[in-house]
Amino acid sequence: MKTVLFLFNNSMYAMQPWLDDGRFNVVTVDFEDTDHSGYHKDDRHERLHRLNVDLSNLYALGDVVRALRERELALPSLVVSFAPCTDLAVSGAAHFKSKRERDPEFQDKATKLALFATKFNCAYAVENPVSVLSTLWRKPDTCFHPCDYAGYCPDGEHPEFPEVFPEKDRYNKKTCLWTGGGFKIPDQKRLEPIGIESPGHIRLGGKSARTKYIRSLTPRGLAQAIYEANCDVL
């Protein structure tokens, strides 16, 4: 059975289509103890494996491979990374100077975390907002808004946060994908956006675990689109 590996991921949205398929083991790696808010969260699923690995560690690759072997899982056929964007997104550029004064290598470290997805010699996709990855690594292979994949979403309200996100995730938030290793960029099924842009940022403030969780959620249409485009070609 093939393995699909998710990095810096702590919600079920990106993983659920692969678990529903039945042909894949799903492994998710996240070092932070973040509020998962309970959406379809079922750690008892026999094909879902959660690893608590610090991917900034020098030996992180070996730690992940060792954990897969201990669980008798195949090395990944696909890696999808939601690499931390705090030190990369251009929306935070006003803070770059002070961060660089505290740590001159802060963006190099963040870029290495993004590049971790490329170390497995398989198909990969790295998701990030508009960021300095475009200069520190390379230009993205595609950019999109969540509404560009809203046609893949089920009808109805957001299952967790209908007060934040419009139905079918029909909103704008420019996001980029860096891909390689045979990853197939999915076709878009755009629906026109509803309401305000980037509601996870405009409607939320502070740095609580809940706010961070909501802002990190994978658009459901994108998750389904990635699955449909790649499940039979890995």
* Predicted confidence (pLDDT) per residue in 62-113, tens digit: 999 999 999 999 999 999 999 999 999 998 999 999 999 999 999 999 999 9
pLDDT for the residue 206: 60
CA angle 227, 112, 12 (to 5 degrees): 30
Residue 37 has pLDDT above 80, yes or no: no
pLDDT for the residue 84: 93
Q: Are the beta carbons of 123 and 78 closer than 8 angstroms?
A: yes
The pTM score is 0.91
Three-state SS for 62?
helix
Residue 138 has pLDDT above 50, yes or no: yes
pLDDT for the residue 215: 80
Q: How many domains does the chain have?
A: 1
Q: Are the beta carbons of 226 and 21 closer than 8 angstroms?
A: no
For 76-138, what is the HEC assignment?
EEEEEECCCCCCCEHHHHHHHHHHHHHCCCHHHHHHHHHHHHHHHCCEEEEEEECECHHHHCC
Q: Quote the domain boundaries for residue 94.
A: 2-230
How many other C-beta atoms lie within 10 A of the C-beta of residue 225? Answer: 24
CATH number of the domain encompassing residue 163: 3.40.50
